[in-house]
Amino acid sequence: MSSLHKNLSDYNLSNVPSAAGMRIAVVVSEWNTEITEALFTGLRDCLLDLGCSPSDILRKNVPGSFELPLGAQWMAETQEADAVVCLGCVIQGETRHFDFICSSVADGLMNLGIKFSIPFIFGVLTPNTMEQATDRAGGKHGNKGIEAAITAVKMIALRRELKKG
């Protein structure tokens, strides 16, 4: 889907389940802090808007995006979370470092979701430039943190629905 002229984070409250009673762990990368803090603000505000209690939003920081999967695993092991959201920003550089980090984080989070049977949400921006990151962290294309919050809430609601039978 092209994001050329779209705010991808627009949502209608009537189309998203309530987050009341949901416990959501959030792991935030300290690298590219101005971006990751904007992502967290979008996520937190969205979760509160959806009825999540502030005390049910559990945040911890890790040094960089590469550390997100291990931080997420520790949150899942210790916080009794319904979902774990990982927020980061890896900007393309002139080396292959970008490819290794992004692929490792995505694979790690996918494997954790399967291992723990709860959603591990990939809220990591992978832009080519800082301008693109800003556009997706509260700028003209919305806020990936909001999208991550909605994904977490929808996945928790789906799991609960399926468990009811």
The residues annotated with a catalytic role in the active site are 97
Task: Return left, alpha or beta for 88; rule: phi > 0 is left, psi -120 to 50 is alpha, else beta.
Answer: beta
Give the contacts of 148 (CB within 8 A, at least 6 positions apart): 39, 43, 85, 87, 121, 122, 123
Task: Count the Cβ atoms, other than its own, within 10 Å of residue 49.
Answer: 14
> Which runs of E-coded beta strand occur in 5-140?
24-29, 57-62, 83-89, 120-125, 137-139
Report how far residue 106's alpha carbon sits from residue 47's, in angstroms, rounded to the nearest whole number: 23
Q: Which residues, in sequence order, are bridge partners of residue 143?
A: 137
Give the contacts of 74 (CB within 8 A, at least 6 positions apart): 60
Q: Name residue, tokens 């800082």.
A: 130
